[in-house]
Amino acid sequence: MRFLAISRPPSVGEVHKTMATITARTIPDGFRIYSFDYPIRCIAGNTFRPGLISCDGLNVIVMGSDKGNRDAIYIFNTRTGSLNNKIPLKHSTVKDILSMVPMPHKPNLVALIDPDKGSILDIRSKRIVRTIPKWGGSCTKDGKYGLYAPSRGGLELLELKKGHLVKTFIPKVAEGVFTVICMFNKTDEYVLYYHSGKKTLRVFR
């Protein structure tokens, strides 16, 4: 067994370039398998965007930066740590990426989530294959359905192939801005919705 950790230095100044570190170790003895750095764009006040492992366990996918200090996707081999690919996003319509989500049904697909939409990136062809407006990143295990739950209120079920609205669980009602956590349960039978203002956990089927 092994575990993998990704870290970076603290932010200093407004926007600067620094290096993040990926380290893999064995469990339970903690023997270091590999450790290496990759460049990232560091912006004061922005949270570090964590990496992910593709659903087949073969790739470590992280958000780094290119030579022009613009966002780029780096893809490393989980077993050896070698760089498999780098995908610059300089000509992409994806901006201000908040997080990345591995698509659970296809290891070559990764969702890039920004404030307005989710964009599906094919790491083999190096292109965006589709964009789903409003999608926040949560999806079922078959990759067919996702959730939209804005911080100002409301909860919708989206179809991820075309981005169509399937069902409205909670109508859009102005309630102020609160922390909202929503997800599917392990069997995808229910949708869980937590609202920090009301301090309630609602369950939808």
String of DSSP letters for the chain: -EEEEEE-PPP-SSEEEEEEEEEEEETTT--EEEEEEEEEEEETTPPP---EE-TTS-EEEEEEE-TTS-EEEEEEETTT--EEEEEE-TT-S--S--EEEE-SS-TTEEEEE-SSEEEEEETTTTEEEEEEET--S-B-TTS-EEEE--TTS-EEEEETTT--EEEEEE---------EEEEE-TTSS-EEEEETTTTEEEEE-
| Residues 114 and 152 reside in one and the same domain | no
Distances from the Cα of 8 to the Cα of 31, 64, 125, angstroms: 21, 11, 29
| Residues 117 and 161 reside in one and the same domain | no
| Residues 36 and 85 reside in one and the same domain | yes
Residue 5 has a pLDDT of: 93
| Residues 83 and 184 reside in one and the same domain | no
Residue 146 has a pLDDT of: 97
Q: Which domain holds residue 152?
A: 142-205
Residue 204 has a pLDDT of: 96
Residue 139 has a pLDDT of: 95
Per-residue pLDDT of the chain (205 residues; tens, 9 = 90+): 889 999 888 765 566 788 999 999 999 999 999 999 999 987 766 678 889 999 999 999 999 998 888 889 999 999 999 999 999 987 777 888 889 999 999 999 999 999 899 999 999 999 999 999 999 999 999 999 999 999 888 999 999 999 999 999 999 887 778 889 999 999 999 999 998 888 899 999 8
| Residues 152 and 182 reside in one and the same domain | yes
Domain count, the chain: 2
